[in-house]
Copies of this chain bind each other. A is one copy, B any other.
Amino acid sequence: MHEPLLDLRKLRYFLAVAERLHFGRAALDLRISQPALSRQVRQLEHDIGTDLFVRTSREVTLTPAGEQLLEDGRHLLAAARRAGERARRAAGQDRLTVGFMLGVQVDPLLAAFAAARPDVTVRLERLRWWNHGESLQDGRVDVAAIRLPVRSDEGLRMLTLDQERLVVALPAGHPLAGEASVPVGALSGEPVLRYADAGSAWNAFWTVDPRPDGTQPASGPEVRDMEEILAYVRAGRGVAFLPQPVTAAFRRPHIAYVPVSGVPPGTVVLAWPVTERSGPTRDFVEAVRAAGAG
């Protein structure tokens, strides 16, 4: 009884492959494995009833059907996002969704807003560094407390909330693990763990590059998950930098977090789309601004 209706998730996978003409790269970007992607695309081809790619082990090409679907699929996906956004928008002015990143304290913000607009119901949504832009743009969240950097093309307005000290994750046995703080230059020989598919801006963030003292980060293994980072660190395969507040969520035996000196702090901002969506959004920003001043 199952419907062979077009599946937007598979369509999104297809588009990723079609735009890069490369399964491995597309899989990285989609944050799934290459085999999973291959299979999903195959299934899409079966659902539609025609091949979309010509695959050789050296090259991936679009079939005519693929070309057509690349064109239509982009519009379809955009229309789907718009539909969700418009529905949310129609829901009215008595609700507000606030995004936040791990470790960012939102309760003061919520308290300030609740005082100003007790009539508005607030929902919370956890964001990741790689999806905050999309979430704000398509209206899944109205306003979010996130870490810099943000891409300039994301169309966000921002208000600085806080500064976060940077710490380094070291294995407990590391010579520097006991220090009260460690200058970044002392870590220049250590390979730095990086997220596999971060853009250059986020890569710079994770590796603390450039560094005020001119030292260069050594490139370490690529990871895809915080637990992977911790496993590498514990094994002595590398170190990782992260904002101090997130460490609370990842206290582990054999892992030490040591504040890093000689680097600028990270910045937490309140961000919202330039295309202001709801009255509550503006009120939230204003309430936070006022509370910050007071």
Among B50, B66, B69, the residue within 8 A (CB) of A83 is: B69
Q: How far is the CA of A125 from the CA of B64 in the complex (A)?
A: 23
Q: Quick check: is A97 within 8 A (CB to CB) of the other chain?
A: yes
Among B5, B68, B89, the residue within 8 A (CB) of A87 is: B68
Q: How far is the CA of A67 from the CA of B89 in the complex (A)?
A: 12
Among B48, B66, B90, B123, the residue within 8 A (CB) of A68 is: B90
Note all chain B residues with C-beta closer than 8 A to A75. Answer: 79
Judge whether A50 and B91 touch: CB under 8 Å: yes
The stretch of A7-15, A103-111, A151-159, A244-252 that contacts the partner chain: A7-15
Q: Quick check: is A24 within 8 A (CB to CB) of the other chain?
A: no
Q: How far is the CA of A86 from the CA of B6 in the complex (A)?
A: 12
Main secondary structure of the interface of A (DSSP, over half): helix
Q: How far is the CB of A275 from chain B (nearest CB, A)?
A: 17
Judge whether A90 and B67 touch: CB under 8 Å: yes
How many residues does chain A have at the interface if contact means C-beta atoms less than 8 Å apart? 47
Q: Quick check: is A31 within 8 A (CB to CB) of the other chain?
A: yes
Q: Quick check: is A168 within 8 A (CB to CB) of the other chain?
A: no
Judge whether B97 and A68 touch: CB under 8 Å: no
Known: A91-B50, A91-B64. A6 touches B4 (CB 8 A): no
Q: Quick check: is A290 within 8 A (CB to CB) of the other chain?
A: no
Q: Quick check: is A81 within 8 A (CB to CB) of the other chain?
A: yes
Known: A12-B5, A97-B49. A64 touches B76 (CB 8 A): no
Note all chain B residues with C-beta closer than 8 A to A92. Answer: 64-65
Judge whether B31 and A1 touch: CB under 8 Å: yes
Among B3, B49, B64, B84, the residue within 8 A (CB) of A48 is: B84
Q: Quick check: is A95 within 8 A (CB to CB) of the other chain?
A: yes
Among B6, B9, B76, B82, the residue within 8 A (CB) of A72 is: B82
Q: How far is the CA of A69 from the CA of B82 in the complex (A)?
A: 10
Closest residue of B by beta carbon distance from A45: B87
Q: How far is the CA of A91 from the CA of B63 in the complex (A)?
A: 7
Interface residues as binary, A91-118 with B (CB distance below 8 Å gives 1, 0 otherwise): 1100101000000000000000000000
Note all chain B residues with C-beta closer than 8 A to A84. Answer: 6, 47-48
